[in-house]
Structure 1
Amino acid sequence: MLKRVRLYSLSTCPVCKKVKEFLKNNSIETEIIEVDTLDSGEQWLAMKELKKINPDETFPTLVVETAVVGLNEEELKKILEVKD
């Protein structure tokens, strides 16, 4: 089942890099929004959207039809239906 996946990330965040690696290793097609690399207007819009999903505005925030904050591989496998 194909699910819409979006990752709000920072280019320098080590946990964000691990989430991206997890997604890549499991062939999960993802829209990645590197918030710190956006221009100021786009960054403002991205943060406004992120705040609706994750009021703490922490990174990484992965949205898989629902929000997953941080790196929780077991939860990600369950939501993304990744088989071991």
Structure 2
Amino acid sequence: MEKNVVIYSLPTCPHCKRAKEYLSQKGISYVDYDVGKDKVRAKEMIEKSGQMDTPVILVDDEMVVGFNQSKLNKLLSKK
């Protein structure tokens, strides 16, 4: 089953870049919101995560703050 993956990121964020590369390598499609340009999405990210750090990654309804590969793997492999 396809997961719904959203990443809130900044183009200057090295952890965001690594997270997106990782998802792409695994063949996972995702929606990428540049919170530097999109203030509505930036506000949404802060409301959901309670912080301003990027990346914030949502896998279905579960959140990963930062690039945590093991947590992402666990969420992506959940049935």
Scaled by the length of structure 1, the TM-score of the pair is 0.84
> Matched residues, percent identical?
35
List alignment gaps of at least 5 residues for structure 1.
none
Which amino acid is the alignment partner of residue 80 of structure 1?
Answer: L
Deviation at 1:11, TM superposition (A): 0.4
2: CA distance, partners of 1:44 / 1:12: 16
| Partner-residue secondary structure (3-state), 2:47 | helix
Report deviation, 1:57. Answer: 1.8
Match of 2:51 in 1: 56
- Unmatched segments (≥5 aa) in structure 2: none
Aligned length: 77
Larger radius of gyration: 1
1:16 matched residue in structure 2: 16
Q: TM-score scaled by structure 2?
A: 0.89
RMSD: 1.3
